Amino acid sequence: MTAGGYFGRALIVDVSTGTSDTMTLPDDVLRAYIGGAGLGAWLMHRLAPPRTDPLAPGAPLAYVFSPLVGTPLTTSAKFAVVAKSPLTGLLTDALASSHFAIAGKLTGYDAIVITGACPAPSALLIDENGPRLTTAADLTGLTAAQAAATLRERLGRGWRVAAIGPAGERGVRYATISHDGRHAGRGGLGAVLGAKNLKAIAVRAAAKVATADPDTVLAQARDLRARSFGPATAKYRELGTLANLLAFNAISTLPTRNFQAATFDGAPALAAEDLAAEDLADRDLAARDVEARDVEARDVMARDAMALRKVARHSCASCTIGCEHIYRARSGQTARVEYENVFALGPMCGVSDPDAVLAASARCDDLGLDTISAGGTIAWAMECAERGLIDAPWLRFGDAGALNRAITEIGTRTGLGDLLAEGSRRAAEQVGQGSEEFAPHVKGLELPGYEPRTLHAMALGLAVNTRGADHNRSGAYEADLSGDLDRLDGGAAHVAAAVETEDRAAVMDSLILCKFLRGVFNDPYTEWAGLLSAVTGWPVDGAELRRTARRIVLAKRVYNLREGWRPADDWLPGRLLAEPVRLASGREAELTPERLRAMIDGYYAARGLDEQGRPDEAQLADLRLS
């Protein structure tokens, strides 16, 4: 009998032929990997041919759900998209929240796996009548939002759509998959779908799935909902993740101008504290204590402060936190604002005009581009242009027009954009001349907005993570910022923090729960086990979930080993190990190769790996891959 919360099967669709098959998911596999990113890793081991080009027809892409999807537990309406990344050549999984998660699971499957390539632009439809392909020729060139709206109008009520934008169609290696204004963003999954000539997948609920103990699940949902309104999530409700900007700037951990600095003079203009005010002009003026008689200064500041206005706060499906903050620019254009897109398109590129950063973020959304990889690759190109390594005199740090031109060229693969669409690693390999040393990536995935030289636990987390430079699969920055260890003096405590946060992320990404909830759990593994037990009926405890976490982390590493990972891939860009950062105190923060090497060795030992980062036979046997 299948456990509660599961259907016990995956749908496998070959879009080359339009045929499909059903794969049984054994109960022991579901319990070993749960769902989401964990189950997705297992599916890639079983279904992806070794060393296959991620853009080849034979490379599978999976939408993977979890047992908690469809329950009343807050933030559980999430799904993972899992594939071999065209940006890194390694495993990638991107999580997203929307009603697509609920409708997708209620098609009657715990995962939907797509293989092959359509002979013509198509959309995949799945409902009570099973999977089928329909033409999408008229959707070609549309944004993901436009394509989804057109398709839903055509199909009628109840359909949910995940689609790609023009960047995915053109094979940009960091193209996204979008749905309901949300994005499965990192690793280029939109390019994988584009290579399959698949513009969209549309799903409509056709089945129901029961939980093992509905009364307990409902009680847990009420308790979790109440806790989600507490102080642990206040920052996300009130200001969103953009609240990090000024705090990171103050402690020299805001990457600026392609990691040439760790503070940005223009940060206050981009800060949530100013942008979120109900009346920005009055708040800005009051904060600066401008004299009323100084009419000219007052008018200038008022115009600046009115550049952006917060127009809405949204919640994802089945979420009580409401972290999504929408802002409007002078032009009337609106966009979702988060720390990472503002960091990548603002300080990383030296741009301090909030209107320009908002426009750049909206343009990325329209084209279907990961903002972190777009900003990191453009920042690298700006530095190359200023050094005379590439012929692009128009591309300079701080130039908002150049930023938006570069984004458009990337999304359309025109001009310089054809090179930059490959990501900073491949672009640097082509340009050479030492540009590889300051290409801001790990394993090909561009770095997020955390300065490794001033956050040593995070430096380790970024170096060893299987997805590449990733703040969502390793939250080691929490330890750096906790005050419990010296963030500038990495050692054994930093190793322990990197392992622990990586394990916790593995469980949350497989259950799946939003990481913005992580602070409401006092005893995370035990509490998560309680949720999983009530839904599935399994007698799971915290100790078992800890073992599950390590299994998932190891399964991802073993997949990468199969695909050609080398020990040298667990490393950071040369700049970060050779150029110290000067702090406001006058102290120099540095991360030496020797320190990083020692932490990586400690990480391997803590994971039970050998000196080359490889597992032993007993660990492999526990993965249930054969």
289 belongs to a structural domain: yes
* Helix, coil or strand: residue 313: strand
pLDDT for the residue 274: 61
Query: What pLDDT score was predicted for residue 329?
Result: 75
Predicted local distance difference test score (pLDDT) of residue 592: 98
What pLDDT does 273 receive? 59
State the virtual CA torsion across 468, 471, 473, 474 in degrees, nearest 10: 100
Residue type, 12: I
Integer Cα distance of 413 and 167 in angstroms: 8
Instruction: Establish if 4 belongs to a structural domain.
Output: no
Range of the domain at 608: 451-621
Give the residue carrying structure tokens 């456990």: 3
pLDDT of res. 331: 75
Pairwise CA distance, residues 480 & 123, whole Å: 45
Residue 1 lies in a domain: no
- Rounded Cα distance, 94 and 192, in Å: 13
Q: What CATH number did the domain enclosing 356 receive?
A: 1.10.569.10
- Sequence-distant (6+) residues with CB within 8 A of 149 are none
Residues of the chain with pLDDT under 70: 272-310
pTM: 0.94
- Whether residue 194 sits in one domain with residue 262: no
For 326, residues 6+ apart whose C-beta sits below 8 A from its C-beta are: 310, 311, 312, 313, 314, 334, 335, 336, 337
Same structural domain, 432 and 458: no
Domain identity same for 170 and 72: yes
Decide if 220 is inside a domain: no
Same domain, 117 and 209: yes
Same domain, 47 and 111: yes
Kindly give, in sequence order, each residue whose CB lies less than 8 Å from that of residue 319, ignoring residues fewer than 6 positions away. 74, 75, 77, 97, 514
Residues in the chain: 626
Residues 439 and 467 in one domain: no
Same structural domain for residues 207 and 242?
A: no
Provide the number of structural domains found in the chain. 3
d(CA 213, CA 537): 7
Q: How confident is the model at residue 238, as a pLDDT?
A: 79
pLDDT at site 438: 98
